[in-house]
Amino acid sequence: MLVSRLDGVRRTRPDGGIARCPAHEDRSPSLSWRELADGRILLHCFAGCSVADVLGALGLQLDALYPPRGYDDKRRPRERRPFPAADALRLIEFELYFVVTSARKVAEGRALEPDEHGRLLIAIDRISNARQACGLEALR
């Protein structure tokens, strides 16, 4: 594995970490690495070394960043979004239209009807759910 060839490896997250870059004189870790759920490895040297330079210094080819054919990692399921992000954005846009319309009504000094108030709460909940589905924090 690529990471086992690096020096000064320190995990900074369950699926990645930092190490000293083998492509340049590196006293402190400047190479960031991360393994994706599908087995691919991402590399980034903050000193500016290219991925090709890093791999070359380790005696590896570009294919070292990709899992072998037939790779099936049972430890982590592949992340699947239940719907395209564009659909979440369209939903947020639609619900925000209702929120803005309600805010204008209140700003003009008019009270929301009980059904409008209930629909506003639904809009807020849907926006929050869409943000969570996209991996963003929930609204506070």
Whole-angstrom CA distances from 19 to 23, 31, 50, 121 are 12, 5, 15, 48
Up-side HSE of residue 90: CA atoms within 13 Å toward CB? 5
Residue 98 sits at φ, ψ, to 5 deg, of -65, -40
pLDDT tens digits, 92-130: 888 998 899 999 999 999 999 988 989 999 998 888 888
pLDDT tens digits, 16-57: 999 999 999 988 899 999 988 888 899 999 999 999 999 999
Q: Decide: pTM greater than 0.85.
A: no
Whose CA is closest to 120, among 136, 103, 138, 140?
103
Please state, as a whole number, how many other Cβ atoms lie within 10 Å of the Cβ of residue 29. Answer: 18
What CA–CA distance (Å, rounded) separates 41 from 108? Answer: 55
